[in-house]
Amino acid sequence: MAYTITEKILLAHTKEKAISPGDFIYAKIDMALGNDVTAPIAIKEFEASGTGKVFDRKKIALVPDHFTPAKDRKSAVQARILKDFADKHRIENYFELGRMGVEHALLPEKGLVGPGDLVIGADSHTCTYGALGAFSTGVGSTDLAAGFITGCVWLKVPETIKFVYRGKLGKWVGGKDLILHTIGDIGVDGALYKAMEFTGDAIKKLPMDDRFSMCNMAIEAGGKSGIIEPDAITLKYERSVNRKRIVKFKSDRDAKYCEVREYDVKKIEPQVSAPHLPSNAGAVTKFKNVKIDQSVIGSCTNGRISDFRIAAKVLKGKKVNSNVRLIIIPATQKIYLEAIKEGLAKIFIDAGGVFSTPSCGPCLGGHLGILGKGERAIATTNRNFRGRMGHPESEVYLSNPAVAAASAIKGRIAHPDEL
């Protein structure tokens, strides 16, 4: 029987001899992830179950990243719940402030997730790890609690949509633009409970960080997961993070897909998504009259070192518009340190920006850059729902790092070539 890469990974984690889309399966998990928003609920359910211990203290990751450093008393309590649980059960992969980072950048960086894995996380953007060739998906906090207890998860085998990207990317165009364009094409429910398999010669040449950006936003199209077949670029990354376990799967040539979509990437310009849905995507030039109050570069989507190199290339020797706040947030401590060593942090600060400690920050309306009534931001984050970054009467436009940096300088949404 022919299988997609997603179906092969799921089959390898069950006792079934064969599976098909629509089947319900009970699958073993390789990593269960929780953060300071979702894990406390899972921990409460875990304790209520009367279970004495977790299924495997090495296969649980707890990352306090959403509201840390603690922004108020409630967030301090949330983070403390993670710490106490980690201490009690000797959780090996608990990351305290100073060692933590935005979870979906941190776990790959630590080599904790990789090709062939089945990963669940009580955060919708857990689908990020599909960039490594893993089946990775978000679950609810009660499902996470069950995972802590049993080491397994109930799943319905998803159908797969195959997205084929051909051609050579244009200047200033990257993974963020490909996924925004794709979501604009199929809509925010266009891949509802489906695996989104990204392939084609353009993907095979795409750097690892761009792959993370694409799989990260599969959920914004309603996807159950996003995935890219592991290749030489994947393996080079895995060696750099000292990943030991690498189990590669690939889709069979005659695997069945519920749909196949093809794109000529030469026709895709840098994208911007207008409020209040990621699907409101179009070429950046369509938004050149939109003034902004804030530009945010960071998050689990675009807070990696390559994103900062791109932003620094645009910002070097220039000044942020006097009416704009530029906030730059590295996704991990390692990225933070690299940005300092490479002189990127100095470029950001010299330009008039703020260079912050690793955190999810304003992405979810947490802290470090909340929008007020009537304010408008451009951001490299993944969502622009109403009130997502603060006041319900604020607005968020999504873009890649180059566009966000250029817009900070011009005081309005701008194409980097305008500089």
Which pLDDT tens digit goes with each residue over 47-85? Answer: 999 988 999 999 999 999 999 999 999 999 999 999 999
What are 336-377's pLDDT values in tens digits? Answer: 999 999 999 999 999 999 999 999 999 999 999 999 999 999
Q: Per 3-state DSSP, what percentage of the chain is helix, strand, and coil (rounded to 5)?
A: 35, 20, 40
Considering the domain architecture, whether residues 254 and 154 belong to the same structural domain is answered as yes
Average pLDDT for 105-123: 97
Domain assignment present for residue 302? The answer is: yes
Residue range(s) defining the domain that contains residue 299: 272-418
Predicted pLDDT of residue 109: 96
Of 203, 237, 262, the one marking the end of a domain is 262
CA dist 57 → 27, 60, 110, 278, 302 (Å): 18, 6, 16, 37, 30
Considering the domain architecture, whether residues 174 and 253 belong to the same structural domain is answered as yes
- What is the chain's mean pLDDT, rounded? 96
The span from the CA of 219 to the CA of 223, in Å, is: 5
Considering the domain architecture, whether residues 11 and 140 belong to the same structural domain is answered as yes
Considering the domain architecture, whether residues 291 and 172 belong to the same structural domain is answered as no
Are 122 and 42 within 8 A, CB to CB? yes
The span from the CA of 207 to the CA of 266, in Å, is: 17
pLDDT level of residue 142 (50, 70, 90 thresholds): very high
Predicted pLDDT of residue 243: 87
Considering the domain architecture, whether residues 238 and 334 belong to the same structural domain is answered as no
DSSP at 366: -
pLDDT level of residue 246 (50, 70, 90 thresholds): confident
Predicted pLDDT of residue 245: 82
Considering the domain architecture, whether residues 239 and 301 belong to the same structural domain is answered as no
Considering the domain architecture, whether residues 258 and 278 belong to the same structural domain is answered as no
Considering the domain architecture, whether residues 256 and 355 belong to the same structural domain is answered as no
CATH number for position 168: 3.30.499.10
Are 401 and 310 within 8 A, CB to CB? yes
Of 237, 262, 287, the one marking the end of a domain is 262
Of 242, 262, 282, the one marking the end of a domain is 262
Domain assignment present for residue 163? The answer is: yes
Considering the domain architecture, whether residues 172 and 41 belong to the same structural domain is answered as yes
**Closest Cα partner for 284 from 295, 274, 297, 294?**
274
Considering the domain architecture, whether residues 332 and 257 belong to the same structural domain is answered as no
Domain assignment present for residue 267? The answer is: no
From the centroid of its chain, how far is CA 76?
24
Considering the domain architecture, whether residues 106 and 211 belong to the same structural domain is answered as yes
Q: Is the pLDDT of residue 174 over 90?
A: yes
pTM, 2 dp:
0.95
**What domain count does the chain have?**
2
Considering the domain architecture, whether residues 113 and 239 belong to the same structural domain is answered as yes
What are 285-317's pLDDT values in tens digits? Answer: 999 999 999 999 999 999 999 999 999 999 999
Are 263 and 15 within 8 A, CB to CB? no
